[in-house]
Amino acid sequence: MHFGVRDAPETDTAARLGADADVRLVQLVKRYGAVTAVDGVSVDIARGEFFTLLGPSGSGKTTTLRLIAGFELPDDGRVELGGVDVTHHPPYARDVNTVFQDYALFPHMTVQDNVEYGLRIRKVDRAERRRRAGEALEMVSLSGYGARKPAQLSGGQRQRVALARAIVNRPRLLLLDEPLGALDLKLRQGMQVELKRIQGDVGITFIYVTHDQEEALTMSDRLAVFDNGQIVQVGAPAEVYERPANTFVAGFVGVSNMLERDGRRFTVRPEKIRILDAGESAPGDHVEPGTIADVAYAGMVTRYVVALDAGGELQVVRQNLETSSADALEQRGRKVHVAWRPQQTYAIEDGPPEQEEA
What's the number of domains the chain is made of? 2
- 191 domain-assigned: yes
DSSP string, 203-235: --EEEEEES-HHHHHHH-SEEEEEETTEEEEEE
- 4 domain-assigned: no
Give the per-residue pLDDT at 48: 94
Which residue stretches of the chain have pLDDT < 50? 1-16, 351-358
Tens digit of pLDDT for each residue in 283-342?
Answer: 889 999 999 999 998 888 889 999 999 999 999 998 887 767 777 777 889 999 999 998
Give the per-residue pLDDT at 350: 52
Residues 224 and 306 in one domain: no
With b for 16 or more beta-carbon neighbours within 10 A and e for fewer, the 7-23 pattern comes to ebeebebbeebeeebbb
Tens digit of pLDDT for each residue in 210-229?
Answer: 999 989 999 999 999 999 99
Give the per-residue pLDDT at 17: 53
Which of 203, 229, 246 represents a domain boundary (last residue)? 246
Query: Cα–chain-centroid distance for residue 225?
Result: 8
- 3 domain-assigned: no
What CATH number is given to the structural domain containing 312?
2.40.50.100
Residues 270 and 201 in one domain: no
Residue type, 152: Q
- 2 domain-assigned: no
- 307 domain-assigned: yes
Residues 114 and 213 in one domain: yes
Which of 203, 222, 246 represents a domain boundary (last residue)? 246
Which of 227, 246, 265 represents a domain boundary (last residue)? 246
| CA 244/CA 2 separation, integer angstroms | 18
